[in-house]
Amino acid sequence: MGKKTKICFVGDLSSTFIKRDYELLKNYFEVSLIEPPKKKLEWLKYAIVFAKKIKKSDLTFSWFAGWRAAFAVFFSKLYNKKSIVVIGGYDAAYVPELKYGAFTNLKEMIPAKYVYKNVNKTLVVDLSLKKDIIKNANVSGDNIDYLPTGFNLDHWKPKGEKKNIVLTVAIASDMQRVKLKGLDTFVRSAKYIPEAKFIVVSVKGDAKKYLERISSKNVELVEFLPENELLQCYQMAKVYCQLSLREGLPTTLCEAMLCECTPVGANVQGVKTAIGDTGFYADYGDEKATVSMIKEALISDKGLGKKARERIERLFPEKRRREGLIKLISEMMP
């Protein structure tokens, strides 16, 4: 590639999938990082930081079509640099019944529309998000490419015997997230399957209080698990549920499938992309159907979990994302 392309990376590295992209790009390009301000006063000089770093770069790479990406795209245009923005899901969504998505409020709609209309290349992790962007931002979609996130096949792997555990992982601290991720449906389903243990990971605050009130005795609510303990949870659980109203490409679902959990999912967007024909489906919020599908998954043949892993291995390895990003950036640069 000759001289290394200089990339200004805009993203919060506390998210594992963003950190993976940052570390991947660092192996092939010269990368400088702009993280979100940690103090209010830092916002005052944020634009100056963007301007200086982008002026010295060849390309900006941002996660999520919010205000930070809008800054990156604006200064990229100003200094005649290339820009890429990766879309996760919220930044393409319009779900007024839950007041969820960038297109449900003006504060987030403004930067999202600016990004979609001015960025050189938009990357979506699921094709359903391209349809959302075209509809909600009123753009042609000519600059939107599909490139899913990738997963470490050697890290997320099965180990030991499966137990009668039904697992779901979803960051939730309020009722909006409970409804969005279908956690209320998950918890209510547990009382009809007393022979299994149901575990919800990453819930706190009002979300946890509400779920505690509606939980049966076989439900365990966990606020946080470090990655090594989460891996052990995946390895023990026989069934993993992704009962969301909408998803891009669900990270935890793919990780669980790599650990040979049999998946049960809502019949929506990236959930279907991940599961394919290797698991079971119920309509979002349909408690009766969800109970039925979880029961089916619990008694299903061991081979279904293996098929679930094989599907993620084939469709979403880290190698695919790495090669896709390198090819895209190489084609965008002179």
User: What tens digit of pLDDT does each residue of 274-285 get?
Assistant: 999 999 999 999
Identical fold at 6-149+317-332 and 163-315?
yes
pLDDT value at residue 168: 98
Q: Do 7 and 25 meet the contact criterion of CB atoms below 8 Å apart?
A: yes
What is the amino acid identity at position 170? A
pLDDT value at residue 1: 43
Asked whether the predicted pLDDT for residue 10 surpasses 50, the reply is yes
pLDDT value at residue 58: 98
Q: For the chain, what are the domain ranges?
A: 6-149+317-332, 163-315
Q: Do 307 and 263 meet the contact criterion of CB atoms below 8 Å apart?
A: no
pTM of the model: 0.94
What is the rounded distance in angstroms from the CA atom of residue 25 to the CA atom of residue 325? 8
Across the range 19-32, mean pLDDT stands at: 96
Q: What is the overall mean pLDDT for the chain?
A: 96
pLDDT value at residue 41: 77
- Choose which CATH entry (3.40.50.2000, 3.40.50.970, 3.40.50.1360, 3.40.50.300) describes domain 163-315: 3.40.50.2000
For residue 136, give every residue at least 6 positions away whose Cβ sits within 8 Å of its Cβ, in sequence order, or none: 92, 93, 94, 101, 103
What is the rounded distance in angstroms from the CA atom of residue 205 to the CA atom of residue 203? 7
Asked whether the predicted pLDDT for residue 40 surpasses 80, the reply is no
Question: In Å, how far are 108, 132, 316 from 118, measured between CA atoms?
Answer: 16, 17, 29
What is the rounded distance in angstroms from the CA atom of residue 117 to the CA atom of residue 77? 12
- Choose which CATH entry (3.10.105.10, 1.10.390.10, 3.60.40.10, 3.40.50.2000) describes domain 6-149+317-332: 3.40.50.2000
Across the range 235-257, mean pLDDT stands at: 97
Contacts 24+ apart (CB under 8 A), 103-107: 103/136, 103/137
User: What tens digit of pLDDT does each residue of 128-142 get?
Assistant: 999 999 999 999 999
Q: Do 325 and 148 meet the contact criterion of CB atoms below 8 Å apart?
A: no
Question: In Å, how far are 89, 161, 197, 300 from 164, measured between CA atoms?
Answer: 32, 10, 6, 12
What is the rounded distance in angstroms from the CA atom of residue 121 to the CA atom of residue 118? 9
Across the range 111-137, mean pLDDT stands at: 98
pLDDT value at residue 310: 98
Per-residue confidence at 222, pLDDT binned at 50, 70, 90? very high
Across the range 168-187, mean pLDDT stands at: 97
